[in-house]
């Protein structure tokens, strides 16, 4: 194992010592806190201040970290303790990670084992162990194409809201692959810098569709005025913002829904599928919610509630609201994969391939003993699956498997 860690360390060292390695500077580096996790010693160095990215690069080349971060925040004194830093502002940052998206693949490729009692399972790692309530786990987490694709779909939803609902233009937000199995969206615009945690929470609620006003208000009115129907509690959706999104979601869901699907989501009204054509072509687009007999306002509300979930962007809410957050630095390596965090243009969101575009180690090959690996892609090559096999792999693939504790350098 030591030899394997040493191999990865040497590769990280080559990367950080190479003057041609591209590590772009975030805006106003002198106002940010920098931090990094030491590769060998495994501890976090924080509260560092650098007047320029050039100085920071010297430190990276000297210390060789496994992971590198900077604050989303701007401070008067980024190198002092938290309460003396004097917060000036913060970028608005969104983190979309397969960890927070229920995918069908995580049950297959993710494993966890309780450090205290040894309880193990597959899928999303629980907050605490169901056997001993311990909170520390050894995890084996994989990043497959389906993970990336699921995260990408959430980014599409987020970006749609940023552009169409918040009015940001494409050049006001930046998209990044996170280096593992997700994406980051940064807004480094003056207009967002001064937003406090409360304001950011409002943005998070909007993006995740929490407490959607149209639905809440309607339901409450329904309850209080259930005896007397009034004109202002009719089900109604506009053509912008979440209203538009819910209409789209309804169309998406109904277009291939069966009676069984309806039952599964708690909608017992078969009129929704029996009149599908009319609903899709007229009722939803024209907002004629009363035109199909047997579908009440309450049914529409229930359907709207259900599709809201699908239309919400599944962001890691904590990252966006934390105004002191450290975020992985663009151009640096992820300690769990050896891939880079890397920026790509919004126009490439459809087809940016992290297993090509984020590859840092493009040369050489190395012989490794792979304990267990699903099929995977790196640098345009499809490799595996492997089980207790000695194989010669391209450097990037070997680094990834070692970082994920699925392989060791062959003796
Ligand atoms: Zn346990
Ligand atoms: Zn996956």
Residues 346-390 have pLDDT tens digits of 999 999 999 999 999 999 999 999 999 999 999 989 999 999 999
Ligand sitting nearest the alpha carbon of 133: 1
Ligand sitting nearest the alpha carbon of 112: 1
Average per-residue pLDDT for the chain: 92
How far apart (Å, rounded) are the C-alpha atoms in residues 241 and 353? 30
Question: Which pLDDT does position 123 carry in this prediction?
Answer: 85
How far apart (Å, rounded) are the C-alpha atoms in residues 133 and 137? 11
Model confidence pLDDT, tens digit, residues 208-224: 998 876 655 555 555 55
Model confidence pLDDT, tens digit, residues 230-259: 445 678 888 889 999 999 999 999 999 999
Q: Which helix (H) or strand (E) holds 371?
A: strand 365-373
Question: Which pLDDT does position 229 carry in this prediction?
Answer: 45
160 in Cβ contact with 185 (< 8 Å): no
How far apart (Å, rounded) are the C-alpha atoms in residues 362 and 328? 22
CA 32 to ligand 2 centroid distance, Å: 34
70-313-28 Cα angle (round to 5): 20
Ligand sitting nearest the alpha carbon of 138: 1
**Which DSSP string do the residues of 272-303 spell out, in sequence order?**
HHHTHHHIIIIITTTT-TTSSTT--HHHHHHH
CA 410 to ligand 2 centroid distance, Å: 27
Model confidence pLDDT, tens digit, residues 102-135: 888 888 888 899 999 999 998 888 889 999 999 9
151 in Cβ contact with 183 (< 8 Å): yes
How far apart (Å, rounded) are the C-alpha atoms in residues 379 and 394? 9
Buried/exposed code over 180-213 (b: 16+ C-beta within 10 A; e: otherwise): bbbbbbbbbeeebbebeeeebeebbebbbbeebe
Q: Which helix (H) or strand (E) holds 408?
A: strand 407-409
CA 132 to ligand 1 centroid distance, Å: 4
CA 51 to ligand 1 centroid distance, Å: 46
pLDDT band at 297 (very low <50, low <70, confident <90, very high): confident
| CA max distance for the chain | 81
CA 40 to ligand 1 centroid distance, Å: 28
Model confidence pLDDT, tens digit, residues 182-191: 999 999 999 9
CA 186 to ligand 2 centroid distance, Å: 24
Question: Which pLDDT does position 228 carry in this prediction?
Answer: 47
> How many residues appear in the chain?
411
Ligand sitting nearest the alpha carbon of 149: 2
Model confidence pLDDT, tens digit, residues 357-368: 999 999 999 999
In this predicted structure, the answer to whether residue 1 has a pLDDT above a threshold of 90 is no
321-336: average pLDDT: 97
CA 99 to ligand 2 centroid distance, Å: 10
Ligand sitting nearest the alpha carbon of 119: 1
Q: Where are the strands (E) in 110-237, listed by range?
A: 111-114, 120-122, 137-140, 174-177, 182-187
Question: Which pLDDT does position 276 carry in this prediction?
Answer: 92
> 302-305 long-range contacts, Cβ below 8 Å, gap at least 24?
302/266, 302/267, 303/250, 303/253, 303/267, 303/272, 304/214, 304/215, 304/235, 304/237, 304/246, 304/250, 305/215
CA 203 to ligand 1 centroid distance, Å: 37
> 210-213 long-range contacts, Cβ below 8 Å, gap at least 24?
210/312, 212/242, 212/308
- Cα–Cα separations (whole angstroms), residue 49 to 56, 75, 85, 220: 9, 10, 11, 52
CA 125 to ligand 1 centroid distance, Å: 12
Q: What percent of the chain has pLDDT above 90?
A: 78
394-403: average pLDDT: 97
Quickly list H helices, 22-144: 53-63, 106-109
CA 227 to ligand 2 centroid distance, Å: 50
Question: Which residue carries 């193990």 as its tokens?
Answer: 120
Q: Which helix (H) or strand (E) holds 370?
A: strand 365-373
Question: Which residue carries 């830093």 as its tokens?
Answer: 85
Question: Which residue carries 């940010």 as its tokens?
Answer: 32
In this predicted structure, the answer to whether residue 411 has a pLDDT above a threshold of 80 is yes
How far apart (Å, rounded) are the C-alpha atoms in residues 79 and 93? 22
CA 128 to ligand 1 centroid distance, Å: 8
Question: Which pLDDT does position 219 carry in this prediction?
Answer: 52
Ligand sitting nearest the alpha carbon of 143: 2
Question: Which pLDDT does position 226 carry in this prediction?
Answer: 46
Question: Which pLDDT does position 397 carry in this prediction?
Answer: 98
Other beta carbons within 10 angstroms of residue 128's beta carbon come to 12
Among 57-66, 97-106, 375-384, where is mean pLDDT lowest? Answer: 97-106
């Amino acid at each position: 194992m030591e030899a394997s860690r040493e191999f990865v360390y040497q590769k990280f060292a080559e990367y950080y010592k190479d003057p041609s390695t591209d590590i772009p500077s975030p805006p106003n580096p002198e106002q940010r806190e920098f931090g990094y996790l030491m590769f060998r010693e495994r501890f976090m160095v924080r509260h560092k201040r650098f007047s320029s990215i050039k100085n920071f690069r010297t430190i990276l080349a000297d210390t060789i970290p496994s992971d590198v971060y900077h604050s989303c925040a701007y401070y008067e004194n980024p190198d002092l303790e938290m309460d003396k830093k004097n917060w000036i502002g913060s970028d608005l940052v969104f983190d979309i990670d397969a960890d927070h998206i229920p995918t069908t693949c995580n049950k297959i490729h993710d494993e966890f084992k309780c450090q205290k009692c040894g309880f193990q399972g597959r899928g999303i790692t629980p907050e605490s162990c169901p056997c001993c309530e311990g909170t520390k786990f050894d995890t084996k987490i994989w990043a497959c194409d389906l993970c990336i694709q699921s995260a990408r779909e959430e980014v599409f939803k987020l970006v749609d809201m940023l552009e169409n609902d918040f009015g940001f233009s494409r050049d006001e937000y930046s998209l990044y692959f996170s280096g593992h199995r997700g994406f980051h969206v940064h807004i480094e615009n003056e207009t967002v810098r001064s937003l406090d945690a409360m304001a950011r929470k409002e943005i998070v609620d909007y993006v995740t569709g929490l407490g959607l006003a149209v639905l809440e208000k309607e339901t409450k009115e329904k309850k209080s005025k259930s005896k007397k129907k009034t004109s202002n509690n009719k089900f109604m959706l506009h053509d912008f913002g979440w209203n538009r999104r819910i209409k789209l979601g309804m169309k998406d869901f109904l277009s291939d829904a069966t009676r069984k699907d309806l039952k599964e989501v708690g909608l017992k009204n078969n009129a929704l599928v029996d009149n599908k054509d009319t609903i899709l072509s007229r009722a939803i687009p024209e907002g004629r919610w009363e035109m199909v007999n047997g579908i009440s306002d309450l049914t529409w509300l229930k359907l709207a509630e259900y599709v809201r979930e699908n239309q919400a962007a599944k962001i890691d809410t904590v990252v966006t609201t934390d105004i002191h957050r450290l975020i992985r630095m663009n151009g640096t390596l992820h300690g769990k994969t050896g891939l880079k965090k890397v920026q790509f243009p919004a126009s490439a969101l459809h087809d940016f391939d992290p297993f090509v575009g984020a590859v840092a180690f493009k040369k050489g090959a190395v012989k490794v003993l792979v304990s267990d690996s699903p099929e995977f892609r790196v640098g345009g090559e499809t490799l595996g699956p492997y089980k207790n096999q000695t194989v010669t792999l391209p450097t990037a693939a070997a680094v990834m498997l070692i970082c994920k504790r699925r392989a060791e350098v062959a003796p």
